[in-house]
Amino acid sequence: MATKTVRDINVNGKRVLLRVDFNVPMEKDGRITSLARLKASLPTIRYLTQHGAKVMLLSHLGRPGGKVVESMRLRPVRVELEKLLGQPVAYADDCVSPTAQAAVQQLEPGQVLLLENVRFHPGDEKNDPEFSRQLAALADIFVEDAFGVVHRAHASTVGVTEFLPSVAGLLLEKELEMMNHVLTAPHHPLVAIMGGAKISDKVGVVENMLGMVDVLLIGGGMAATFLRARGMETGASLIEQDSIAFAAKAMQDAERRGVRVVLPSDVVVADKFEAAAVHKVVPDNQIPVGWMILDIGPETLKTFKREIAKAKTVFWNGPMGVFEMPAFSKGTRELVDALASLKGVTTIVGGGSTAEVVESLGMEDKMTHVSTGGGATLECLAGETLPGVAALKKPQRA
């Protein structure tokens, strides 16, 4: 069953509860350091306002644990959103209180109201039916547009759909289309680049994608576990002992399927996990005792660039090194540049830290798609059901 979107319903004059993902990175002084998620929500918000909807924005910010945390209020988001939208955004200091209900009553068609952090209420993460009902009572229609949380069965992603006609927003539609492209209809060769610190949170993705990809490039901290699985010494690098057997099996499965798995041939190692640590480039089989892998080396980078230059579709999730430390960011930075320079290639960047890297370098417009959801991307590409999407495909209330 196809997921209906805002284009399939009449929203004129209707109260629309729009679940967005405004969980933006924010400094202690309230300064937002990336507006990417706000910008990603604009097409749906504008579509709704231009079609005469009364729009209520519902989001979480941080992990307040079901209680009010002043530093996690959405007021700074409201300021930036008004600038981006070019229109006033009303604000309610709760999402279900009489204050929120009164603010909703004052909305006129085309106006926007930002409701306060939904996770100030424990009922959200518990998917509490009563809390879901209270949210639904504010609206006539529910629109899910927060791809970053559709892998969570919360009141604001799943529970509310039990009480309202529910459809997808334009961002969610785009995210699902791009994930579906990788899963069902990629242009080959398909190259997957996997990095980041851990294998354990990518097991499902690796297993599922081995049946799709032509080449799998492994970098980041997880490369150390793959190297250990090949019997190599990895110094003091972080090794997931419980994942060594999986890494070995994945490489065997890849060989059986005709998928090439490319591990680093050289790495940047350091004597300690510090920005100013002594570091050097060594071959993958000459990692000194007590030293740790913190980036891919120049020869590996050349190899990775050659592989993606032959690709028609590239999916990337996870930095190649400790990007936050300048000495260990070269592999990731140059890989971003290489992807940005590709012509006629579909380039899809997984959410989370990978998206943050691309955005920090100002390269998001050079990619085909930069996802807004890290965990949701991984679960989707692992072939798992996303509860927030599944809820939209159920028989709808009239």
Predicted local confidence at residue 1, as pLDDT = 44
In a domain, 319, yes or no: yes
110 and 251 fall within a common domain:
no
For residues 51 and 167, give the distance between their C-alpha atoms in angstroms, rounded to a whole number: 15
In a domain, 388, yes or no: no
Residues carrying an active site annotation: 37, 198, 352, 375
Q: Show which of 125, 145, 172 is a domain's final residue.
A: 172
For the whole model, what pTM was predicted? 0.92
Q: Are strands 292-296 and 313-317 parallel, antiparallel or unpaired?
A: unpaired
Residue whose entry in the numeric block shows the structure tokens 């799998």: 216
194 and 72 fall within a common domain:
no
268 and 158 fall within a common domain:
no
For residues 124 and 269, give the distance between their C-alpha atoms in angstroms, rounded to a whole number: 44
List C-alpha distances in Å: 217 to 21, 153, 251, 265, 292: 30, 32, 12, 11, 20
In a domain, 397, yes or no: no
165 and 192 fall within a common domain:
no
Mean pLDDT per block of 10 residues along the chain (398 residues) reads 87 98 91 92 98 98 96 96 97 96 97 98 98 98 97 97 97 95 93 92 91 96 96 94 96 96 97 96 96 97 97 96 95 96 94 88 94 91 94 75
Q: Running DSSP on this structure, what letter comes out for residue 26?
A: B
191 and 318 fall within a common domain:
yes
In a domain, 216, yes or no: yes
243 and 209 fall within a common domain:
yes
First CA to last CA distance, the chain: 17
In tens, the pLDDT along 5-34 reads: 999 999 999 999 999 999 999 988 889 988
198 and 346 fall within a common domain:
yes
162 and 226 fall within a common domain:
no
Domain carrying residue 358? 186-381
Domain count, the chain: 2
In a domain, 200, yes or no: yes
In a domain, 181, yes or no: no
201 and 155 fall within a common domain:
no
In a domain, 178, yes or no: no
For residues 176 and 168, give the distance between their C-alpha atoms in angstroms, rounded to a whole number: 10
Three-state DSSP at 299 gives helix
In a domain, 51, yes or no: yes
Element (H or E) spanning 347, and its range?
strand 346-349
168 and 193 fall within a common domain:
no
What CATH number has the domain bearing residue 63?
3.40.50.1260
141 and 78 fall within a common domain:
yes
45 and 93 fall within a common domain:
yes
Residues contacting residue 298 through CB under 8 Å, at least 6 positions apart: 266, 281
